[in-house]
Structure formats: C-alpha cells, structure tokens
Structure 1
Amino acid sequence: MKAIYLLLSILCCSSAIARDPNFIIIFTDDQGYADLGCFGSKTIKTPHLDQLAAEGLKLTDFHVPSPVCSPSRAGLLTGCYPKRVGMHRHVVFPKNTYGLHPDELTIADHLKANGYATACVGKWHLGHVSQTLPTANGFDSYFGIPYSNDMSHPDNKGKPRMSQDESWKNQDKFSPLWKTPLMRDNKIIEVPVNQRTITRRYTDEAINFVTKNKDKPFFLYLPHSMPHIPLYVPDDVLDPDPANAYKCVIEHIDAECGRIFKTIKDLKLEKDTYIIFTTDNGPWLQFKNHGGSAGPLRAGKGTTFEGGQRVPFIISRPGTIPAGKSSAELVSSIDLLPTIATLSGHPLKAKNKIDGLDVTEVFTKNQSSSRNEFLHYTSNGKLEGIRQDDWKLLQKQPHRKSKNKKTTAMLFNLKTDLGEQNNIAEKHPEVVVKLSNRMQELDAEITKNARPIFGKR
C-alpha cells in the first residue's frame, strides 16, 4: 500500500512541475525550396539547420497560402486563408494605414492567454499603425523592421537606384540610402536601420528574450528580413564576390540560427522547445545571384506554381518529434495555429472560423495529414487553383495586355510531375470540372464570411 502511495505521490509531483512547451518559429523571407543543404542545395552550407532536420522532421510538401509577404504572414499567424481576414490583396506599403485586425486570433494571442511570454523579433509586414503592430496582436514586445527592407519611411519615396551587385560590393555606401525604420514596440528607434547587422541584432534580441523567460513557457516569432533584397551582411562574414551574395546571406542566417539553438541547449530547454523553420514564399528568381532556387519546382515568388508556394519546413523537439524523419504529407502554414494549440496542451477554442487543420499526428507520429486539399490564390488575392491529393488545377488568367482573354486550365499530377511540366487538362476534363467546382465552392464560403481588416485599403 505504501509503495502505491509513493508512486502516486511521485506522479502527482511530476505533473505539478511539468511545464508547457516553448515554441520558436523562424520565418525567413523569399528563401527558395532548395536553399538548404537538407533540401538539396549543393552550394549553400547550412550545417545548423541541417542538424535541426537531423534531430527532427522535414516536410517536403509544405505550402504557404500566398506567394508574397503580407498575405503569407497573415495566414501563418491567424490559421486562415488571407482572404478570410482581408489581407489577401498583395503587400502593405509604408504609405498604407491598414493592416491585420487586432480582433483576429493569432498564435501569440492564444499562447499569451494561456500564460506564455510572447515576442516578435523581425519583419512584421502586417501593418505599421499602432493598432496593427505585433503588440496589438498578442505579442508582449516587438523589435524589428515593420515592412520589407527595400521600403523607405515614411512614404516609400526616394529609394536608391543601383544594381544589386553594386550594392553588395559597396555595402557601407548603399545600405544607409534605404530609409528603412527599426521599431521597438510601437515606436521607431532608428532610421535608417543598419541592414548589414540586422540579422545578428535580431538574434541578439531573440537570445535575450529566451534567456529572460527560460523559467516560463515562451513563444518567439523570429521573421528574418533576409534574404529579401537588398542583401547585406556584416564584415566578418562578407564574401565580396556578388556572385556569392545570396549564398553568403543564407549561410549567415544559418550561423545565427545556430546561436539560438546553442542557447536553447545551454539552458537545457531542448526537450521543452519546439523549433520550427520555414519561409514566407518562394525565391525571387529575377534577382538571380541575389535570389534563391526552387530546385525541381517550377517558377518562384509571385506565382501559384509550386516554386512560389511550396517551401522548406523543419520542426524539432527531441523526445517528442521523431528524429531524422521526412514526410511528404500535405501541410500548410495555416495549419500551425490549431496544431501549436494542441501541442501546447491548450486546444484552440476560436470564436471565428479558421481554415487551418490540426496536423499534430503528422509532426509527432509521422502519420497521415488531415489536409487533402489546398486553395491557391495569386499575389493579388484572386482565386487561381486548388490542390486535391496529387491533383493540382490552375485556372490561369491571361495577362492584362494579352489579346487572348481566355482562361487556360492547367492540370498536373504532382506525384508524377512535381515540376509541373505536363499539362494534362485535355486528357482529364472530368477532373478539371470537379476541381474547378470545388475551388469555387470553397472560395464562395470564404468570400461570404470574410472579416474586415483594420483601417481602409
């Protein structure tokens, strides 16, 4: 009897000291599907992120809900297609006064309500008036650039004109010409921010936050400004050859990620911390050596082809996430809100409808995804396609200057044609009709129940 009582006492004590897990989301900007060693890069060395993948799970069929910045970020944080929360029409510019409505439930809102310390460190790009900043959307603190690093305060006018190669070769000359602001909470503290050191400063801020909150559950959202152009790095990691600019920036980000991973291990928090790494959309291919690579995928940023919306994804938590695994299950960044809620031990009780699905078992048991379909919207928020199992349909609208005004149906079987090279729409007209009807049905519900942004566009 005494032995049973002792066992129950131990179990009760263990339960009492168990803590909710921490979450870190590292979210880069315009990084391509093939821009990590563990995702096939033969030139870019990313040992720290490769190690994260070796210690955790890599998803090879992970998608973001938009091929550009602002809508993708809205989807990640709210668990919704951007159209549902009004953030689907391209990106927020410095002169705009609208943004994500503070009434929307974000990952940070949910975790903060359940006792988490929350911080956003990096690029926000969901509005920069006070009611739309991170501190109005569930984050205790904010440190970062409020929009893209190629935008200038206050009205985006007077931006420098130079070639990206020239900018890379003369970083001290060209970096200060961008009047890009740095904010702390809701105040601008520097104009221009030193873009050469911003990746490292983000890391310093992130480490300070983690260290300060090591004894309580925390959520760190770290959306890096790089590798969005213009590209800059500190002197101590600079490769002066502009042909290696993009490679140099990604390797710098990897090294800075390594500092965070080391901090987590030094604090003995690795078994209590989920670390997620992904990016907002595909590579900006037109910038060549200043843009990335989508590898086997077609096209890149700004398109609904796989290269625009299929991105690298890694999740790790030793002892909880199976190590060294890879999954080809269909998952989206809009699934992270409900999944993180479940993983935190505080299931989601959202009052408004979301589009994200709980994919906990994909992460923790490497099982099948609860998602089998996914809508594709253009960078301006127009419905353009749907993924359903291995089928992908795109209804491509003609260019506005084209004389041909007819929509082109493009049907691909991604299982046999990952690069989307063989349009088989004419061979499977019944599939085209079925998928077209389904995407219109799903979009009609979203349109009918879409919620407002804050402010006016």
Structure 2
Amino acid sequence: MKLSLLLLPLLLLFSCNEETPLAHTNVIIILTDDMGYADLSCFGSTLNQTPNLDKMAEEGAQFTGYYAGQPICSASRASILTGCYPNRVGIHNAMMPDSKIGINLSEITIAEMLKKEGYHTGAFGKWHLGDDPKFLPLNHGFDEYIGIPYSNDMWPFHPQQGPVFNFKPLPLIQGNDVIDTLTDQSNLTVDLTNHSVDFIKRHKEEPFFLYLAHPQPHVPLFVSDKFKGKSENGLYGDVMLELDWSVGEILQTLKELELDKNTLVIFTSDNGPWKAYGNHAGNSGIFREAKGTSWEGGHRTPFIVSFPGKISADEKIQTPFYAMDILPTVAKLTGAELPHLKIDGLDVWDIWTGETKENPHEIFLYYYKVNELHAIRYGDWKMVFPHRYRTMHGQEPGKDGLPGSYRFIDMERTELYNLKDDPSETVNVFAENLNIVAEIEKYAERARKDLGDALTDRIGEGLREVGRVE
C-alpha cells in the first residue's frame, strides 16, 4: 500500500507529460461580407496583401470547392447557422430594416446546439436574420451580442438614399438594446475585433463559440486610420489589410492563451463580390459572375480551416462541400447533439482532414430569389435551368462607392457544364450528355417536391415556417 502511494505522484507526473485528449473544442467562425473567391493572396490575388490569412492557410487547410448556401446575405447566413438550405427555413435574399420576418424561434442554430453542451456563445458583427428583438442573437442561442442588425449600407448615407431608398439611422446593438446609431463606420472592424478578443480572454477556462461576422468588405467601405492608404489596391485593399489584421489578432490571442490546439477556426465569406461597385468590389477569379447570381462566382468563396494537430498544415483541398455542412461537422467535433429538425448538411470532417476526397452529397442545389431553383451540381456536372440573372459584363462599372447598372439576361434553354474541365462555365455541353441531363432532371423533380420551385410554380413539402412579427 505504501509503495503504491509513493508511486502515485510519479505516475501523475508522467501522465501529465503525455498527450491527453482535449477536454473540449472551442469553435470560432469568422465571416466576411461580399469577399470574392480571389480576394486573398493565398487564393490568387495579386492586388491584396493578406499575410495572416496566408499563414492561417499554411498552418491549416484551404478549400477551393466551398459553396455558400445562397449568393446573398441573409440566406447564406441562415445556411451556416442552421445547417439547412436557407429556403427550407424560409429565409430568402437580404432582409430589409423593419422586416416582418426573421429566423424562426423553433430553428436550432449552432449557438443553441453548443449552448446545450455548456458552451458560452458570443456573436459580434452583422446579424441580418431579422431585426425585431425576437429574431436577434440572444433569442437564438447567443449569450452576448454586439453589432448591426443588417447590412452596413442600409443607412441614411446610402448613395441612392431618396431616389431609391429611405433608410433610417443604422443602430449599433448590444444584447437586445440600441446603444448608438452609426454615422461613421471607420472603427467598426477594430471594435468588433477587440470585443472578440475580450470574449476569448474572458472565457478561456470554459468551452466557447465565437461568431465574428464582419460587415466589411460590403459597401460602403470603411477602414481605420491605421490602415488607410496602406495597401497597393486603394480603399478595397486597405479594408482587406484590416480584415487580415483582425484574423491575426484572433489567432495570436489563441496562441498567447495556449488555446490554439483545442480551437477550430473557420474563415470564409457569405457570398461572392458585389460587382456593380467596381473598384469597391472584390474579385471572383476564374469563376463566372458574382453575388446575386447562381453562377459559380456567386457561391464560391474562400474557405480556410485551422486546427493545429488535427488538420494537416498547408493542405489545399478541392473536394466540394457546402455552408450547411459546417453545423454537423462542428457537432461531430464537439460531441453535440444534432438538431431534432431535418437539416441538409453532412459531417465533412474527413474532407477537412484530407482522409477522403469523396463529396458525401449526391447533389447541391442552387436556389436564389424567392425560392427559384436555378441549378444543380451533380458530381462534376452542373445543370442550369432557364432563369433571369444579372450581369455587369458589357456595363460601365461603378466607382468610389457608387454602383453601376446591371443588365439582365433571360436564359431560355437548360444548359450543362462540366466543372472539372470548365470551372468558368463557358462551354455548354448539354447536347452531348443527354444521359446526364436525364439523371439530373430526376434530382430536380425531387428538389421541387421537397423545397419547391417558384419558376415552375411548385411549393415544397419540406419547407418550414419563417418567423413572423405578430
């Protein structure tokens, strides 16, 4: 007995030196607004300098096949937070101020899922899932919130205020209360970053979920004095430098607190760039079109994951996955219980770690506007159905914060593209692949039955009620 007591301290000492399972996994999602696929230097930009994000990609993994849930603000955010196609939960397009709808209280967000597991949850930045108090973050699983309830251009200083819009002051909200109205957004990126760093420090001893949703680089572009005029790409490049700095602050804080090895950090954008704004817009790279369209440039955005010791360094992964896959993957890593309601996402951890190159989804659905089914991805194939879309090709772009005018194109025939051979969607191979067309048509019929399709006057059986102001 005495010998056992003497050996016990030695056993404890040796066990402390061995690698032990992590007690919990912290989760951070950093989301930007309207950042293009090719806006980071690690994703091909020759105009923007993004050293911290490049380092994050070198130390983690970057993904070239990630898809936003829809090519527009509110819908894409709903997809990330609920694990669903946004139209399944009744969210379409970008909600305007004083919206009478928002995310339903019955939906389970990542924050609610993790809060049940003892996580402290914080949201900082742009929300855009309804501005009525019942729709704000504190009613959807977040313990803390500071930010703006919708897009940063929905304010009285919009360049089209009067002729087109009549926006009221832009509120800054803490919890459920308006604490200020913004007339200048120059320090907003810095303030949101500081709030996020403070959140991490305050909750370093417990599991936490941080959702940092930057309003930039959505127009109007704003940057603090520290980064003004510091880039080689004008104001847009300055904004990118500051957003990159913000990511660096988060990652450095994790390292200083020795939290980096048990924290999953995700960086991405809500959709592609807003091309109408010219030199104040981002770059979709090789991909066709941009925000507000169902071509690849609307849905493809940069995606970087860091998790030292769990995700191999400097991985570049092409396997496609989707915004709604984030929630179930986080559930897998944290041991959280999935929502009881149907979700569309699947666990893609094995894709993130490079253990598989197989996309677990049979198809991906490109919905836009008020529940229009525009396209389906099936393996390397993408079939695009007749619909109307906007383009800036052949148009005079906007400049210095003023938008250019779109022209609209009406597609009259279904088209088919092979994304492996033709990621820019330039060659329609419909006629040569009628067997593939027939196969995708079967999936389209199932999608219309489940989620509906306004283009064919179908109402889906699997749609859930959006939240409403009574």
TM-score by length of 1: 0.89
State whether residues 317 and 354 of structure 2, in contact with CA within 8 Å, keep that contact through their aligned partners in structure 1: no
> Which residue of 2 is the match for residue 421 of structure 1?
426
Assess if the C-alpha contact under 8 Å between 1:160 and 1:178 holds in 2: no
2:159 equivalent to 1:161: yes
Q: Quick one: percent identity of the two aligned structures?
A: 39
8 Å Cα contact 1:57/1:316 also seen in 2:
yes
How far residue 211 of structure 1 moved from its aligned partner, in angstroms, is: 0.3
- CA, structure 1 residues 245+437, in 2 after alignment: closer, same or farther (shift >3 Å)? same
Are 2:21 and 1:32 aligned? no
Corresponding residue of 1:119: 122
Q: CA deviation at 1:236?
A: 2.2
Q: Which residue of 2 aligns with 1:397?
A: 387
Cα distance in structure 1, aligned partners of 2:413 and 2:324: 28
1:293-339 Cα offsets, whole Å, 9 max, x none, are: 01111110001111000111000111111111011111111000000
| Letter paired with 2:246 | E
Which runs of 5 or more structure 2 residues have no equivalent in the other structure? 162-166, 391-406, 452-459
Aligned positions of 1:235-314 closer than 5 A: 235-239=225-229, 244-314=234-304
Instruction: State the alpha-carbon separation in 1 of the partners of residues 111 and 468 from structure 2.
Output: 22
Whichever residue aligns with residue 43 of structure 1, its letter is: L
Structure-2 separation of matches of 1:290 and 1:77: 28
Residue identity opposite 1:433 in structure 2: A
- Letter of the structure 2 residue corresponding to residue 330 of structure 1: P
1:140-179 to 2 correspondences below 5 Å: 140-152=143-155, 158-161=156-159, 179=169
User: What is the match of residue 224 of structure 2?
Assistant: 234
- Matches of 2:297 and 2:193, distance apart in 1: 28
How many pairs does the alignment contain? 436
The two structures have a TM-score, normalised by structure 2, of 0.87
Q: Superposed, which structure 2 residues align to 1:446-457 within 5 Å? A: 446=451, 447-455=460-468
The 1-side partners of 2:208 and 2:462 are apart by: 33
Report the more deviating stretch, 261-270 or 236-245. 236-245
State the one-letter code of the partner of 1:65: G
> Counterparts of 1:241 and 1:260 in 2: how far apart (Å)?
21
Aligned equivalents of 1:67 and 1:146: distance in 2? Answer: 19
Matches for 1:19-418 after TM superposition, within 5 Å: 19-88=23-92, 90-152=93-155, 158-161=156-159, 179-192=169-182, 194-239=184-229, 244-346=234-336, 348-368=337-357, 369-398=359-388, 407-418=412-423
Deviation larger for 178-187 or 106-115: 178-187
Q: Higher helix fraction: Structure 1 or Structure 2? A: 1
Out of 423, 428, 444, the residue aligned to residue 439 of structure 1 is 444
What amino acid sits opposite 2:159 in the alignment? R
Shift of 1:65: 1.3
Pair 1:178–1:36, CA change in 2 (3 A): farther
2: distance between equivalents of 1:97 and 1:59?
37
The DSSP-based 3-state class of the residue aligned with 2:221 is coil
User: For the residues of structure 1 that align with 2:412 and 2:8, how far apart are their CA atoms?
Assistant: 72
Deviation at residue 370 of structure 1 after TM alignment: 1.8
Looking at structure 1, the residues matched to 168 and 34 of structure 2 have their Cα atoms a distance apart, in angstroms, of: 19
Q: Is the CA contact 2:30–2:214 (under 8 Å) kept in the aligned structure 1?
A: yes
* SS of residue in 2 equivalent to 1:139: coil
Secondary structure of the structure 1 residue equivalent to 2:301: strand
Paired letter, 1:128:
D
Structure 1 residue 5: deviation in Å? Answer: 12
Give the drift of 1:141: 0.8
Moved more, 239-248 or 105-114: 239-248
Change beyond 3 A, Cα 1:321–1:201: same
Whether the aligned pair in 1 keeps the contact of 2:27 and 2:210 (CA below 8 Å) is: yes
Q: Secondary structure at the match of 1:385?
A: strand
How far off is 1:91 after superposition? 1.3
List gaps (5 residues or longer) in structure 1: 153-157, 164-176
| Root mean square deviation, CA, Å | 2.9
What amino acid does structure 2 have at the position aligned with 1:131?
A: K
Contact 1:25 1:277 in 2 (8 A): yes
Query: Match for residue 167 of structure 1?
Result: none
Task: Encode CA deviations 1:416-438: one digit per residue, 9 max, x unaligned.
Answer: 00110001112222222221221
1:228 positional shift: 0.3
Cα 1:195–1:366 shift into 2, 3 Å: farther
